[in-house]
Amino acid sequence: MNQPVQHGKAALGFIFVTIFIDVLGLGIIIPILPKLLEQLAHVDISMASQYSGYLTFTYASMQFLFAPVLGNLSDRFGRRPVLLFSLLGFGIDYLFMAFAPSIIWLFVGRFIAGIAGASTTTATAYIADVSVGDKRAANFGLIGAATGLGFILGIGMGGFFGAISIKLPFLVAAGLALLNAIYGFFILPESLSVKNRRRFEWKRANPVGSLLRLRNYSMAVSTLITAYTMVYIGQKAIESTLPFYLIEKFKWKLPSISALGIFIGLLIAGIQGGLVRWVIPKFGLRKNIMAGIAFYGIGLILIAFNNVGWLMYVYMIPYCLGGIGGTALQGFISEHVSPREQGELQGALTSLVSITTIIGPLLMTSLFHHFTSKESSIYFPGAPFLMGAILMLVSIALTIRSFKKKEPVKLIQGH
């Protein structure tokens, strides 16, 4: 068992800030991306959404390739150096985004961000290192809370500073990332003891090999992972098309989009930073996984057929409650892995999520573009959200099937 980290609160605080800065950059992009793409690519809002899907494809492809590499490097050399390296990468990415003279440079920035974004793998492994028992799943809620706060400030910065200059929000994010790297260099302790480190192997660090390692799970867990693969794809309806949808259907301007984004961030932060820490111990992981998927589906179908702009605030409440399920799933899976393999496991899961981020945005932005373009015979901007709701329903069926299986839920050690 790992030696407890002496400065556990300070370490978890640093991890919180690291993930926060990761999501901050994504949040900054959300409100200003439609306008930025319209300007740099000289296209309408429908085609701009398609370019957005291509940018996300670039980001996710790099994260898919590098998540298992960083995860395995952290199992060999420790979490600390990998986290600091990733923060430096984020700082460089934001600088690229700030000074992009053409849309090509946005792709360069997303390329770098995809590599640095794989730090979530190491951050999650760090939390697993310093957490025990029921606190592990609760501490994973820090990821959700950091995500929420990152979106709050990121979207707020994107809307406020973006109105002054599109470059300004990225410059602020770059400064925060580089400052956090300096802070971590002096403050962050290493969480992985030497005795729990293992030799780096390329065959375990390649993304395909990393995904194949998931075969070692029991059939019950494998079915659950399949269900959540669909959940992650369904989530991309909101993540990929929401600002384009708000502009297209309700003619919202930048301040209105930012205001909704801040509201969503507050919801996520409250749910992941507070509610999760109460409902998981009280109701257990399995019930929370089921409830989370159901909430996602309800929120998505309400948004798909919404015709009143202000109701977006109401319908985001059940959708954000769906985040309970993701936190419960991470805790559920990590309980069945040895300390020396947490980095590898989180790398494999991050690669899996990256695949959904490759597939999901392309699917959702293509649906939005098809049903909002002038050539379309059917006008239905809510199509991506309806697709997301359908995927959630399928996921619920798979989850029920998984929990009915009688076999023991554990990871079979393959070495």
pLDDT-derived band at 379, boundaries 50, 70, 90? very high
Please report, for the chain, the start and end positions of each structural domain, with discontinuous segments joined by +: 8-404
How confident is the model over 125-166, as pLDDT tens digits?
777 777 665 566 667 667 767 776 777 778 888 888 888 888
pLDDT at 250: 95
Residue 413 pLDDT level (bands cut at 50, 70, 90): very low
**Rounded (10°) CA dihedral 141, 212, 202, 337:** 40
Confidence check: pLDDT of 121 > 50: yes
Burial class of 179 by CB neighbour count within 10 A (0 to 12, 13 to 18, 19+)? middle
- pLDDT of res. 152: 75
pLDDT higher than threshold 50 for residue 97: yes
How many Cα atoms are found within 13 Å in the side-chain-facing hemisphere of 153? 18
One of 2.60.120.10, 1.20.1250.20, 3.30.450.40, 3.20.20.70 is the CATH number of 8-404, namely 1.20.1250.20
Residues 395 and 293: beta-carbon distance below 8 Å: yes
Query: Could you tell me which residue, 411 or 18, shows the higher pLDDT?
Result: 18
Residue 294 has pLDDT above 80, yes or no: yes
Mind listing the pLDDT tens digit for each residue in 296-311? 999 999 999 999 999 9
Higher pLDDT, 234 or 352: 234
CA dist., res. 56 & res. 360, Å (int): 9
Per-chain mean pLDDT for the chain: 80
Of 63-72, 212-221, 254-263, 318-327, the least confident: 212-221
315 vs 328: which has the higher pLDDT: 315
Q: Is the pLDDT at 411 greater than 80, yes or no?
A: no
The predicted model gives 272-295 an average pLDDT of: 84
